[in-house]
Structure 1
Amino acid sequence: MKKWIYRIVLLAAICVFSFSAFQLYKIYKESKMIDQENEKLQEIAKIEDNANKTLTIDWTALKQSAPDVVGWVYVPGLDSVSFPIVQGSDNTYYLNHTTLGETNIRGSIFLDAGAAPDFSDENNVVYGHSVEGGGMFTSMDRFEDASFFETHPVFYVLTPSQNYKCDVLAFSKTTEGTSFYTKYDLTQTTEHANEMISQATYSRNIPVEGKHFITLSTCDLDYGFDSINRLVLVGVMEPTTEPIQMEE
């Protein structure tokens, strides 16, 4: 009897180990696919690997490979957050498809399907997953640290028609459906900013009247993958013609 119990326990342990190993391999494989695709997209986008590491985009070449691309986001200080932004006909497809259309649970960085593709809305919401093992928008949780928030006041969004320096207005641990996801009229941006600041974990005093906002949104892993809890980073969009230099 003891031998049978030992065998059953051993078999159960082997099954658990095998399942865990498979899950780890699956995570690794999906992460590797994203990394390889992003390297390919970085090459297409022509990030200049020179002393200044200037970010420039060949939009014609990029759109030939990924027709749904509408922009590019780069957040200094966050591991590898330099991604194309795509926009689908709904907000579900790019939850589990890469920029090049491959099935992958890590998905893509994508602009809300109902937003103007040229980022001309008052509030332009961009979504990305937080995932096990890092990648995508996972490292956005660094903004939970007050000193990190203070020392990283800008991020950048590039589009085919205009590049933007985005001055960080606010960071928040929030939930779906809050003011961070609301679109106001451009005559009400001050009111909207005040509402977001009142709900923010950290914020800055930045002129916002008549400005456009961009809100980066991701899951708050403190509450698990299936919760409505979110991390959001709000930037005030300022057109720029200055070279965008990437960190080492």
Structure 2
Amino acid sequence: MKVIKIELKNNNYYVLETDTKSFIEDENVLYFSLNYLKLNKENVKKVLASHEVERVVYLDFESFLVMGELMSVKKIKFDIDKSLTRKVLDKLIMLDINRVECYFMPSDYVHELSKKKVVINFNNDMKFDKDFILNNNFKNLKSIYYRKKISFYTEEEVKKNLRGFLKVNNSLKLIDLYVYSKDIIEYIIIELDTYKFKNVSIFIHQNASNALEIRKDVEYLRKLNKKYSNEDREIRFIYEEEYFNNRIFKELTINGFKICMIFLMYAALFITISSKYHEYINYLNLRKLEKDIELTPSIDEVDDTTSDSDNIEDTSTTIYINKYQNIPTTYDKLLTINKDVVGWLKVNNTKINYPVTQTNNNEYYLSHDIYGNQVRTGWVFMDYRNGIKELDKNTIIYGHNLKSGYMFGELLNTTSSSWYKNQDNLVITFNSLDKEMKWKVFSIYRVDNTSEYLKTSFSLDEEFLEFVSDIKSKSINDFNVEVTSTDKILTLSTCSGINRRLVVHAVLMS
């Protein structure tokens, strides 16, 4: 059974969540079961306030989450070699305190506490290699705290920087590994376990320098992946393009090409037959979602007659009813359906009016809906590199271009002059779970398949302004919208024909 242990020593309370096996007989040590604390909060407060205590020292985050509001002491120390979690920080800023000592917290929380005249002291010796900082484009410690993805290129880089990063970070979802050895994989897993990171994927980029060793250890890696799959952790191979191309052209034979052609013919036939089925399944899931979050469905029904070409009809008289009334009140229900929901996107005069999801890669929601079903239509999702609590300079949202118009099928409407000349259409709604946001369209264009517009962060203001100037120059219309170096932008991206993309950019409105 879990209990809270509180030891009085040198005018300090030392607080730890432990179990009943650790009981010791000592007049200066108190034990409270979690159930007792829940039922007797006022009594516990009186007992703890009866001692003259200068400071509370928390030895783990769990004990603070239970005891924080029951302590009347003004000074708090977290004797934990790790940054404060967001759950801890959200509780901390609600307390009546005047001093905090901890390993690290991000600047937005420092600002909140400073406004309340709270003195903050950090006790850490963080040091990172220059190459690690440059390779991951870290600008400050705050960016390390919120970072969801990191990359390593050498074993030495892993061993010198991973531990320090995990002590600071609170958001990691993905490690891109461009080097491989069995020892380094085991080292990474041990460090992730030590600092209690669970939902983290390790992507091993296979290339000419590590391919032989990876092939030798494939069975070991499969077993390891199976072992950790219950913790939402995976080990996955990514083939470097140059390495893949070299191998594929060496190994393919004429007969192989013939087989591929026959396969492609059958695949094309299968895709044609299944296309309508998948879009109908997507339509049913949208209706199910409306029912699950108890909202009134819209009057627009599925229409599979929409052309998949780049030609569209005049949309000036088309009006779509908002499918999801009372959007902010639905998040709790949505999160019970899918914990990956991070916000809601609505583009006027289109069918784009959906919850937005995000996971630790940009592949899953290309083929899965909000319920986790595997479907061709996918779902609308945010780039895994983006943060939602603290927005990046460029937040990117993707969706499939479907014939039925669902997902981003009607993003094509934005290229019609009758759409973009209507000022109401130019204001996009993209809300996070705790913030309502409006975005003003400033660029719409088609472009060859490229990653140039998919940068999420910028080292310098000049680099960002140059990026903005470039995407403005591609626009089909001059929207006369100013974007400054302090602004943040939203990017919507979908397919537009073979190897082309349709892109819409909007700037966050004050």
Please indicate the TM-score interval, normalised by the length of the shorter structure. Answer: 0.7 to 0.9
In the other structure, the counterpart of 2:473 is: 198
In the other structure, the counterpart of 2:433 is: 160
Name the SS for the 1:36 alignment partner. Answer: helix
**Equivalent pair of 1:111/1:124 in contact (CA under 8 Å):** yes
Stretches of structure 2 that go unaligned for 5 or more consecutive residues are 1-268, 299-320
**Equivalent pair of 1:87/1:117 in contact (CA under 8 Å):** no
In the other structure, the counterpart of 2:410 is: 139
The Cα shift of 1:20 comes to 9.6
TM-score, with structure 1 as normaliser:
0.75
Identity of counterpart residues, as a percentage?
Answer: 23
State the distance in 2 between where 1:178 and 1:219 align.
13
State the distance in 2 between where 1:37 and 1:59 align.
16
State the distance in 2 between where 1:99 and 1:203 align.
36
Q: Which of 1 and 2 has higher RCO (CA within 8 Å, sep 6+)?
A: 1
Decide which moves more: 37-46 or 95-104. Answer: 37-46
The Cα shift of 1:171 comes to 0.6
In the other structure, the counterpart of 1:64 is: 336
Deviations 1:135-162 (A, max 9, x none): 1111111111123112121110111121
**Equivalent pair of 1:216/1:232 in contact (CA under 8 Å):** yes
In the alignment, residue 343 of structure 2 is paired with which amino acid? G
In the other structure, the counterpart of 2:280 is: 29
**Equivalent pair of 1:46/1:58 in contact (CA under 8 Å):** no
In the alignment, residue 165 of structure 1 is paired with which amino acid? K
Stretches of structure 1 that go unaligned for 5 or more consecutive residues are 1-17, 240-248
Deviations 1:115-143 (A, max 9, x none): 11336110011000011222111111111
Please give the residue correspondences for 1:64-213 in structure 2 after superposition, counting only pairs within 5 Å.
64-78=336-350, 80-118=351-389, 120-151=391-422, 152-185=425-458, 187-188=461-462, 189-209=464-484, 210-213=486-489
The Cα shift of 1:91 comes to 0.7
Deviations 1:86-123 (A, max 9, x none): 00111111001001211111101000111113361100
| CA shift in 2, pair 1:114/1:45, >3 Å | farther
State the distance in 1 between where 2:282 and 2:449 align.
26
Stretches of 4+ moved more than 4 A in 1? 18-22, 44-47
How many residues align? The count is 213
TM-score, with structure 2 as normaliser:
0.38
Q: Does 1:218 align with 2:479?
A: no
**Equivalent pair of 2:278/2:377 in contact (CA under 8 Å):** no
| CA shift in 2, pair 1:21/1:168, >3 Å | closer
Name the SS for the 2:509 alignment partner. Answer: strand
| CA shift in 2, pair 1:45/1:69, >3 Å | farther
The Cα shift of 1:46 comes to 11
How well do the aligned residues superpose, as a CA RMSD in angstroms? 2.9
The Cα shift of 1:33 comes to 2.9
| CA shift in 2, pair 1:102/1:211, >3 Å | same
